[in-house]
Amino acid sequence: MSDPIRSHESARASPRASRVETIPVDGEFALCLTHDVDRPYKGVRSLYYATRERPTYHLRTALRSSNPYWQFEELMDLEEELGVRSAFYFLNEQHLLRDRSLSEWFSPSNWIQHLGRYDVTSEEIVEVIRALEAGGWEVGLHGSYHSPDDPDRLTTEKSTLESILEGDVTGGRQHHLRLTVPDTWYYHRRIGLEYDASLGSCTECGFHDGYRPLRPFGDEFVVFPLTIMDQTLPDPGSQPDAARRVCERLLTEAAENDAVMTVLWHPRFFNEREFPGHRELYRWLVERAQELDAWIGPPEELFDAIEREQPSETASESDRPVHTDRRNVLSEIARTGQRTPITNYDGPYQSTEATEPADQVDVVGRPNRCPVRGERRGEP
Ligand SMILES: [Zn+2]
């Protein structure tokens, strides 16, 4: 008997891909706030940094008691002050030596990945997850590096998180935006996730994949395209005005097009000493969106509003019938997508110490290499 999760038959039987046509929330547009929890502990990564710059500072911050990447409380306080909530996506990576093959031990990029691994079931992370949930934040899944084509692994990661939450996980995003379209979405839907927020670029910000969420299978499963990943902006420490200009342009574009704009700020970037300018830029972005009368919240809340308003909306008469294989999902994205590359700045900050590139990411027909960075502005 074939494995029902791995079988694509039911995915391909779905006749249409479509878009969410209206955004049923109060406001000129919707701004979804998200945080991928990649590296909450600087820990042993300090040893890696210490060999390169400011050794005494980095060695000192290796101590747990002065962990500069632990930004949960600060971030919650900031969002409480701003009157907004966001989504935190938690990663549950496999242990390199225990869970991965011997051949993977010898890749430098795997070691850099592994140095920052955390245990999502540890007492302090569990406490944070429960505090977030109790405070009205969304807790979602940050599918691990090797999970996009591994439904069994995705199932394990989702159920571990759900056992901590004592409830369902609605959606999330894949680490490094690694997707195989549409297979990963099919696995997400099959294991009970209702949305994904991985569709986007690690190198460019903009509405590359359209202004509205996509329904790749024409059913209730929704994809929220990513508009801004923090590290794709001009460095807000050295070019604060340029970074704001890019955000302003995208906020205005969102307001003019009734768009859903989704942004990703990694929690450790909220440490002002290590990553100057990021926290202030995030505050400015949220306050500017409020001035522009945006609805602001986590994707789960928007998903729920969409489902209430348009329950299990399927394709409208105006949609072309397309079969949901990769090529047709891509053509649907291209048909309704708006490509607006941002070109009026010097380009995103590039770490001078970016190491080996990660594997080629198979996403939406364009090159999308997300380098594995062990450096200042981090990895996706
Ligand atoms: Zn990540």
CA of 36 to the centre of ligand 1 (A): 5
CA of 164 to the centre of ligand 1 (A): 20
CA of 373 to the centre of ligand 1 (A): 11
pLDDT digits (tens, 9 = 90+) for 333-346: 666 554 433 333 33
Name the residues around ion ligand 1, CB cutoff 5 A: 36, 38, 175
Q: How confident is the model at residue 106 (pLDDT cuts 50, 70, 90)?
A: low
Are 209 and 225 in contact by the 8 Å Cβ rule? The answer is yes
The pLDDT value recorded for residue 22 is 87
The Cα 279–Cα 285 span in angstroms is 10
pLDDT digits (tens, 9 = 90+) for 315-330: 443 333 334 555 666 6
pLDDT over threshold 50, residue 357: no
CA of 212 to the centre of ligand 1 (A): 23
Are 206 and 183 in contact by the 8 Å Cβ rule? The answer is no
CA of 222 to the centre of ligand 1 (A): 20
CA of 176 to the centre of ligand 1 (A): 5
Q: Which domains does the chain have, with CATH numbers?
A: 9-336 (3.20.20.370)
Three-class DSSP category at 142: strand
Mark residue 48 as left, alpha or beta (left: phi above 0; alpha: psi -120 to 50; beta: remaining). alpha
Q: Which helix (H) or strand (E) holds 215?
A: strand 214-215
